[in-house]
Structure 1
Amino acid sequence: MPKTKATRSKSKAATEDSRTLRAKKAALQDEFGKAKKTKENYRGYYDRGLRILKDIVAQRRKQEKQNPGSLTDGIDTNLLEKAFTGKPNKHSVYALELYLTQKCVVEELGQSTADGIHGAMADYWDRLEGGQYNGEYSLDEETGKVTGNPARAPPIVDFVKCIINLASRGQQKLGTMLRLQHLKTCSSLWSGPSYSAPMKKWKA
């Protein structure tokens, strides 16, 4: 016997709330969105970023303990500590700049590392809270609220391009000081501050 309209409507699943739907979307992307090897690589880049940020935070706290009031860069160390965990905050872009600088400038790693870090952090924030931060980055200066993905902030995108340009010129083996000078020259083209400046002053 053919189903009546009323019978067919009863077979439909109830509409779930937005939070549940976002969670299911994220779970589907985790399972089928990227190859297993890519996800493993991204996890490695993310974990290394956490370790570097932990070291930076420890250094800042040590400096502040030894010389109270010596940190005048406007960076909240407690907030910086959380820049890569949970929802992004106003120091997440700054923390990512430091991570890229450590690996690609200080340690003189090149394009593949820059691309890997950038891709891993973009993927992390894209998938966070069911995709809530998947979009163009902006920062509300007054409230400190972040919208969108910090890895897509113009200073980050431009900094990665500078690293790639440097690598393409065959200059990967230059000394750290020369590399820093090149990247600072690139940074002068940004609409925001250089990578060493507090990101609270930058506005998308």
Structure 2
Amino acid sequence: MPKALSTKARKTKTTTTSASKQDTKLKKKATNTKKCYWEIVADAKEQQERYGKAEKTTEQYKAAMRRNVEWLKEFVQEAGEAEKLWEETQQLLEESTEDCKDKEHTLGSEMPLDFDTALDGAPTEATPQAITLYMYQKCFVENLSPATAWHIVSGWKMVFNNMAGDKYRGRWHEDREQNEWVGNP
């Protein structure tokens, strides 16, 4: 049987262990201080991505957002083709398009000019509408579960929360002084 360590031996062993832990901490501090600002920011962002959400969850969010962007491009193209077809039909029937111009347009009756790029980069005024229409397509047209909508929203929320510091966090609103949209759509 091994002999029990004397009190003096235990204190010495504890002291050397504590000293080696302190040396390791000092080495870590020394290596961290040698990094420049941008390296630290990049490292922090990498650690946030690595430990913020489960890797599989992040991959699924990115895939859902990629499908959302692809759907938007197809939707805009099809809507543009449908509008051209409508105009051609009106011309063939020799009906005046003035009747259409006189009608009062409601909010959302026309596609916003930046709708095709609403999901590229920073959010715009049309971003919430693009995300909402995609959720409508998935949940009501394709009859997928409400979990699909939550998955889409969570993915975009994650992206906007991590974009440009705190600029796209919180309530979505127009900043009239800066003439831009801020918050999370």
Q: TM-score, normalised by structure 2?
A: 0.61
- The match for 1:161 is none
1:34 aligned to 2:53? yes
- 1:177 equivalent in structure 2: none
Give the direction of change, closer, same or farther, for the CA distance of 1:30–1:101 in structure 2 (3 Å limit): same
SS in structure 2 opposite 1:139?
strand
Unaligned runs of 5+ in 1: 1-10, 151-204
Q: Which of the pair is proportionally richer in helix?
A: 2
User: Once the 2 structures are TM-superposed, how far is the Cα of residue 110 of structure 1 from its aligned partner?
Assistant: 1.3
Query: C-alpha displacement at 1:143, in angstroms?
Result: 7.5
Residue by residue over 1:150-192, the C-alpha shift from the partner in whole angstroms, topping out at 9 and shown as x without a partner, is 0xxxxxxxxxxxxxxxxxxxxxxxxxxxxxxxxxxxxxxxxxx
Take 2:81 and 2:68, find their aligned partners in 1: how far apart are those partners? 20
What residue is the counterpart of 2:168 in the other structure?
A: 133
How far residue 134 of structure 1 moved from its aligned partner, in angstroms, is: 2.0
Q: Percent same amino acid at aligned positions?
A: 28
CA contact (8 A) 1:125 1:133 kept: yes
Q: CA deviation at 1:83?
A: 1.1
Tell me the SS of whatever aligns to 2:163. Answer: helix
Greater relative CO (CA pairs within 8 A, separation 6+): 1
Aligned residue in 2 for 1:44: 63
2:82 alignment partner in structure 1: 63
Q: Which residue of 2 aligns with 1:6?
A: none
Alignment RMSD: 3.2
Question: Which has the higher Rg, Structure 1 or Structure 2?
Answer: 2
User: Judging changes above 3 Å, is the alpha-carbon distance between structure 1 residues 20 and 60 closer, same or farther for their aligned structure 2 residues?
Assistant: farther
Q: Is the partner of 1:108 in helix, strand or coil?
A: coil
The question of 1:100 aligning with 2:119 is answered no
Which residue number in structure 1 is paired with residue 126 of structure 2? 91
Instruction: Give the superposition deviation at 1:106.
Output: 0.6
Give 2:112's aligned amino acid.
D
Distance in 1 of aligned mates of 2:168 and 2:39: 16
Q: CA deviation at 1:103?
A: 0.4
Paired residue for 2:112, among 62, 68, 76? Answer: 76
Q: Equivalent residue for 2:21?
A: none
- The offset of 1:111, in angstroms, is 2.0
**Offset, 1:45:** 0.9
| 2-structure distance, mates of 1:108, 1:60 | 22
Number of positions where the alignment pairs a residue of Structure 1 with one of Structure 2:
138
1:23-71 Cα distance to aligned partner (Å, 9 max, x none): 5543331122111110111012111111211111112221343328989
